[in-house]
Structure formats: C-alpha cells, structure tokens
Amino acid sequence: MMTTRNLPPSTSKRIKMVSLVIVILILPIGVADRAQETSALTVTQNDGMDEDVQVDDDLDPEDLEVFQPTNQWQSLKPGQAVPAGSHVRLNLQTGEREAKLPDSIKETTGLNRNKVTAKDSHSFSAQELKEALKKLKEEAISSADEEAQAAVRSQYRPLEELKKDLEDLSAMMETDFQVMTRLVQQFNNSQASLEEKVTALLDLEYLVHQVDNAQDLISLGGLQLIINTLNSSEPILQEHAAFVLGSAVSSNPRVQVEAMEGGALQKLLLLLGTDQPLPVKKKALFALASLLRHFPFAQQHFLKLGGLQVLTALFRSRGSESLRVRVVTLLYDMIIEKELISQSGLDAVPDASHEERLRQYSQVALLPLLSEQGWCNLVPELLASPEHDMREKALRSILVIMTPCRDFYRQDSGLASFLTSIQEQYTALAESEREHGEDDGYFGELLALVESVLGKLR
Ligand SMILES: *[C@@H]1O[C@H](CO)[C@@H](O)[C@H](O)[C@H]1NC(C)=O
Ligand SMILES: *[C@@H]1O[C@H](CO)[C@@H](O)[C@H](O)[C@H]1NC(C)=O
C-alpha cells in the first residue's frame, strides 16, 4: 500500500509560482538600484578626490576641450570637460549630459526624477577633471552621446531580460492540463506498476476538485478510463478510481452528465451490490452520493435500476456497519434536496429550467419506496449507536420519513421507550452544557430533536 505520496503536481506548480512572484518583485528593485548608481555617479563626480588614485595616462588634460557654460542648459560634447561651479546633469530622457552656469536661486530638486542635478563646489583643476572623467569612463557613462544613450538603454535592458525570464519560466511551468495529460498517460500505460497507477489516480483526484480540471478529464478521455476501471480486477484500482470519479462529479453538472452517459451509475451499483472489500464500497458510496446530488435525472435512474434495494442490502449486510450512517445520509440528502427545491419553487420566479427541475424531482419518489422497503424499521437502528452524531442523523432521518412511517412508529413501543431514555440523557447533558454557559449547545439541539420525534408519535 502507499504510505508516501508525491507532492500533488499543483503544489509543486504553486511553489514555482511563488518563486516567479519573488523574481518579479526583486528585478524592478534591481533596475531602480542601477538608476540610483547612475545618478550618484553624476552627483558625486567632483567630490572627495583621492590624491592616491592613479591617473590614467591616456587621458591627458591638455587634450581636453573645456565646455563654456551659459545660463541655459547645453549638451556636453564628447570629451568636453566642465569648469568647476557649473551645474551638470544627465538628462535621462535624451541620455545627454548637460551643463550650465549656476542659478542664483536654488536649483529645484526632486521635482523631475529624470533629471539629476549636481553642483560642483570647489575650484577646478586639470587633475580633478582628469579624475572626474576617468571615473565617468569607468562607469561607462562617458560624455560620448552614443555611450550615454547606451547607458540609458542599459537601464531598460533588465526589463527585456525580465520578460525573457518570465517566458522561460512559464515554459518550464506545467499547466494543470499538461499534468493531467501526463497522469492519464501514466495511468493508462500498460507497463506502469500498480503503485504508479494508484499514485496517478491520487494526483488526479487532487486535481479534479477544480471544475475546469474535471471537465478537462473528460476531453482527455480520462473520465471514461476511470469509469472502466471501476470493474478492474484490482480492488485498489477500483477503490481509487471511485475516489477520482466521486471528486470529479462533485458539484460539476457537466461531469455528472458525462459520467451517467459513460455508465458510471451501473458500475457503482454493481460494486455496492456485490461482495467487495470495504474500502472499495466506501469510495463507491462516496462516488454514488456525489453523482446523485442535485441531479434528479441520475436519481430517477438510481431508483429504476434498483439502487434503493442495493443500499438496503448494504445497510443490512454484516461487515459494513461503518457504512450505515453514510447510506442513511445519502437517502436523507436526497429527500431534503427535493423538499428544498419544492419549497423554493413557491417564492422563486418560475422559469423554464426551474419547472423542468420540479418535474424531474417529482419523478423521484423516494419516500414511498423507503417505507415499502422496510426503512421505517431500519433508520431507528442507527439510534442504538452510542455516538451522538450518528443518533443525530437517525433522529433527523426519522423526522424526514415520519409521514410514511408514522403509523408504524406509533405501534413500536420499543422506539418510544428508547426515545424517552435518551431524552433523559440529553436533558442532563444539555443542563450541564448550560451550566458551562452554552445556551445553544449540541446536546440542547439533540434534546430538541428527540422531543420533536416524541411529539410526532403522540
Ligand atoms: C489508453 O491506451 C490505449 C492502448 O494503448 C489507447 O488505445 C487509448 O487511447 C488510451 N486512452 C487514453 C485515454 O489515453
Ligand atoms: C468491465 O466491464 C466491461 C463492460 O461491462 C467489460 O467489457 C470488461 O471485461 C469488465 N472488466 C473486468 C475486469 O471485469
């Protein structure tokens, strides 16, 4: 048997998604950092000159053409040096360095984030200019136009790289559809071991909880494969196939219809009506309940195919006592569902589909069949359980089948006396619940149910 289970494929995908988000968050910060480095470079070019710095010999100060600043911003030509006291800025929109004489009023700062302004404070020497230019060269922001533009472009390149990274990442990520395709193939592979097949089924079960995935299972041919597996000769495959089927049809009308057409109902009833290991029956019952829920067409066929007899025999059979409450729950849900639909019909604006649903539910005549097949007698058997939640289910079910069973219950003195005894028990439990400050406690609720049943028997 499986003791370990691989990470469901979606989990690993989710991990990849998380790292993708981190990449997206980090990269723009990286871009911003680079922009700051560039501006810092412009701002600090003349600050803190280190006398020990080796002067690059190919930059002779005598070769430098010196820029003549005016009151207007002018572009610096390649190789031009700037006199001390000039305002220098790098226009990040054009990529050009610009300089002018300082204004008498203070330069505005921070109003235009694209313009970086620097003030050269000390007097200007050839040595300082050389240093400044050397630094500029080292930082690849030379005063050459093309290079400055390249520098600007370099700030955007990471964005292109980011895009490419995203494409690569999404190419690496398996979509749920791809994962399911792989799992269906793995399951359908005649070379695969039993264990591999079970693993594939467990992973599929995880994925088909999503409505879209369950519908993709149909188009992949996986649903029919699963239905066919219900009568496999391997109980462990039957069990897990029923598990996948039950999850796929849950709250998914399209898959319910498809499963009906694929013959799932007959196969599930066959599993429940024949000698099978308990885990197989348990999952088959789960799949049956999911297939029938909110699907009157399937409920009708369930009754026509003798489904109720199958469940009656299952309830009575030795060895499947643990399934009894599930069987009763399934029947109880069917009755309540029909009642709710009929009630909502009273206040809802009647439309064609609602009329059709009402018509379909009207053909699901479960209640009279229940009393015919001895369920008036069977349901109270659940009361004998010492478990409160099982008794709760029994009490609620007795109330639901009261109409066809009332005469039967009135003659059953054993039922009345048993109900009286648990009434005393729950009175005491509800009392202590209230003493602990719980006014609407669970035992109070059970007591109300017992009293409601007793009231209907009088
Ligand atoms: C399963 O395998 C059989 C035989 O290899 C193939 O004919 C069939 O199409 C496969 N079914 C699916 C759903 O992949
Ligand atoms: C399962 O049922 C189908 C159709 O009812 C049948 O063709 C197939 O042989 C059965 N498989 C087993 C293992 O009984």
Q: Which residues contact 18 (CB under 8 A, 6 or more apart)?
A: none
Indicate whether residue 218 lines ligand 1 (CB < 6 A): no
Look at residue 366 and tell me if it is in a domain. Answer: no
Structure tokens at 442: 């669970």
Residue 451 lies in a domain: no
Pocket of ligand 2, candidates 225, 226, 227, 231: which has the most ligand atoms within 8 Å of its Cβ, to mutate?
231
63 and 141 housed in the same domain: no
Any domain includes 346: no
- Based on the fold, state whether residues 57 and 88 are members of the same structural domain: yes
Do 293 and 208 share a structural domain? yes
CB atoms within 10 A of CB 60: 11
**311 alpha carbon – ligand 2 mean position (Å):** 23
Please tell me the predicted confidence (pLDDT) of residue 241: 98
> pLDDT tier at 153 (50, 70, 90 boundaries)?
low
DSSP 204: H
Using alpha carbons, list the distances in angstroms from residue 454 to 378, 398, 413.
Answer: 18, 11, 12
Count how many domains the chain has.
3
212 or 75, which is more confident?
Answer: 212
Closest residue to atom 10 of ligand 1, CA basis: 188
| Pick from 50, 180, 204, 206: nearest CA to 128 | 50
Quick check: is 420 in a domain? Answer: no
Tokens encoding 440: 């609407």
Indicate whether 344 belongs to any domain. no
pLDDT at res. 157 = 62
Pairwise pLDDT comparison (57 vs 402), residue with the higher score: 402
The type of residue at 346 is: L
CATH at 208: 1.25.10.10
Q: Is residue 413 part of a domain?
A: no
In a domain, 96, yes or no: yes
Lowest mean per-residue pLDDT among 142-156, 231-245, 296-310, 417-431 = 142-156
Where do the DSSP E strands lie in 21-109?
A: 65-66, 74-75, 80-81, 87-91, 96-100
The CB of 309 under 6 Å from ligand 2? The reply is no
- Does residue 204 sit in the same domain as residue 280? yes
Does residue 59 have its Cβ closer than 6 Å to ligand 1? no
pLDDT confidence bin for 152, thresholds 50/70/90 = low
Asked whether residue 186 falls in the same domain as residue 306, the answer is: yes
Report the pLDDT averaged over residues 213-218. Answer: 96
Is 107 in the same domain as 160? no
User: Does the C-beta of 219 come closer than 6 Å to ligand 1?
Assistant: no
pLDDT digits (tens, 9 = 90+) for 158-204: 667 777 777 777 777 788 999 999 999 999 999 999 999 999 999 99
Ligand 1 contact via 184 beta carbon (within 6 Å): yes
pLDDT tier for residue 97 given thresholds of 50, 70 and 90: confident
Distances (CA, A) of 56 to 43, 107, 378: 22, 33, 101
Look at residue 275 in the predicted model and tell me its pLDDT.
Answer: 94
234 shares its domain with 293: yes
* Residue 254 resides in a domain: yes
Q: If you average pLDDT over each of 12-21, 310-319, 337-346, which comes out highest? A: 310-319
**Residue 231, ligand 2, Cβ within 6 A:** yes
Q: Over the Cα atoms of the chain, what is R_g? A: 39
Residue where a domain terminates, one of 112, 144, 172: 172
Q: Do 109 and 73 share a structural domain?
A: yes
Residues 148 and 186 in one domain: no
Q: Which domain holds residue 161?
A: 131-172
Residue nearest to atom 14 of ligand 2 (CA): 231
User: What pLDDT is recorded for position 274?
Assistant: 96
Same domain, 187 and 143: no
DSSP string covering 325-394: HHHHHHHHHHHHHHHHHHHHHHHSPP-HHHHHHHHHHHT--HHHHHHHTTHHHHGGGGGGSS-HHHHHHH
Q: Are residues 79 and 179 in the same domain?
A: no
**92 and 224, same domain (yes or no):** no
Per the prediction, the chain carries an average pLDDT of 79
Q: CA 107, CA 93: separation in Å to the nearest integer?
A: 19
> How many whole angstroms separate alpha carbon 415 and alpha carbon 453?
10
Ligand 1, residue 185: give the atom nearest the CA: 14
- Chain segment 367-396, per-residue pLDDT in tens: 999 999 999 999 999 998 899 999 999 999
Q: Which of 140, 172, 204 is the last residue of a domain?
A: 172
